[in-house]
Amino acid sequence: MTQPLVLRAPAKINLSLEVLGPRADGYHAVRMLMASVSLEDELSFEPAELLSLACDLPALDCSESNLVLRAARALQKALGREAGARIQLKKRIPLGGGLAGGSTDAAATLLGLNQLWRGGLDPKALSVLAAALGSDIPFCLQGGWAFATGRGEVLESLAPPPRLHFVLANPGFEVSTKWAYSNVLTTGISHRNLSAEAYAAVQKRDWAALEASALNDLEKVTASRYPEVPALQRQLLDLGALISRMSGSGPTVWGLFKDAEESKKACETMINMKIKAIAVHTH
């Protein structure tokens, strides 16, 4: 019996998220510093006559609207054939948490099915498919560290700095990315390029500079409606986080800790307080 093809799909965090203004296509122009972290979903792919998706999380909608199946259908169309596959998803990234959980699963699906179906599409062709499906999916295809511009799909890969240690804390509900962007206030394009400043600060381990540059323009939107977000940030800071910010459109927040031991200790404390938390690191 052939063993299934198994791929891991890492979450991403935003160390900065600058919303530069609305675009003619209905999206917002952004500038972001993004990094993959060690929190991962797992997808397995097996040959089958039909295309199907099953997940170990009952709350996840596994219908045709799911990004995994939408990615699979897009790849079928690009290859010009109705290939089948049995896809199993082990879900560990919170739903609607600002960590690109759906996007990273879609990216893994493009990679996995391109291999399973012997599609032969190169990374550039897969990236084109990814961008048509969602703004975060091209980044999730490549992972690592990157600046993202455009609507998030234009990437500049970056050399990974030394490993960073975080605690991710989630209040247990979803936030709509579309809602967050529709309520953000923009004052025009920033000329500072906070994302570049944030990356330089990470490289130098200059946490004061990172505190000043690691800003998320969506944080005010989500935090004003959901007080759980600033409450989690205060909790992380009280437990020793150097900096705490919201990731993406939230509601997940991250706290940066000086090392793995400190992040693990803070995470255990939060879990004991019945808070959903996980200690992660960058790759």
Name the packing angle between helices 260-272 and 228-238 (round to 10°): 130
Query: Is 12 an active-site residue?
Result: yes
| Active-site position among 12, 41, 91, 217 | 12
| Active-site position among 56, 136, 220, 274 | 136
Fill in the DSSP letter of residue 214.
-
Cβ atoms of residues 227 and 257 within 8 Å? no
Q: What are the angstrom distances between the C-alpha of 119 and each of 26, 115, 265? A: 32, 6, 45
19: Cα within 13 Å, side-chain hemisphere: 22
Q: What are the angstrom distances between the C-alpha of 136 and each of 178, 206, 217, 252? A: 13, 28, 17, 16
Query: Is 274 an active-site residue?
Result: no
Return the SS3 of 152.
coil
Sequence-separated (6 or more) residues with CB below 8 Å from residue 276: 94, 169, 170, 171, 172
Cβ atoms of residues 126 and 108 within 8 Å? no
* Alpha-carbon gap, residue 280 to 283, rounded angstroms: 10
* Alpha-carbon gap, residue 236 to 218, rounded angstroms: 19
Residue type, 46: E
Owner of token pair 């012997």: 118
CA dihedral 256, 260, 264, 270 (to 10 degrees): 0
Residues labelled as active-site residues: 12, 136
